[in-house]
A = this chain, B = another copy of it.
Amino acid sequence: MYVIMVYDVNVKRVNKVLKISRKYLNWTIRSVLEGFLTKESYESLKRELLKVIDEKEDSVYFYLIDTDRQPHKIVLGEVRTDFKFIG
């Protein structure tokens, strides 16, 4: 399945969340990562994230798209290639 992940976490935890997430997904823009994941690796990513986020303050959204083809992605303006830690 194709997964799009968006995080909104306390700046203290951004590095940890990003480090974990980038083991599984590709950084795209701002606080968004994406990529193909098996169910098992998606569950593993969730478990790792749940160990570092504060569920009362942080948010991580997953869009799970049941497809074996990458969703069509259109970019207006600049393609973000520079990876910078996004708070």
Contact = CB atoms under 8 A, between A and B. Distances in A.
Task: Give the size range of A's interface with the partner.
Answer: 35 or more
> How many copies of the shown chain assemble into the complex?
2
A71 B60 contact: no
A9 B80 CA distance: 11
Contacts of A72: 63-66
Interface in A56-87: 56-67, 71-80
B64 A74 contact: yes
Given A8-B30, A30-B30, A61 B73 contact: yes
A4 B80 CA distance: 17
A61 B75 contact: yes
Interface in A1-57: 4, 6, 8-9, 28-32, 34, 46, 49-50, 53-57
Contacts of A64: 71-74
A28 B55 contact: no
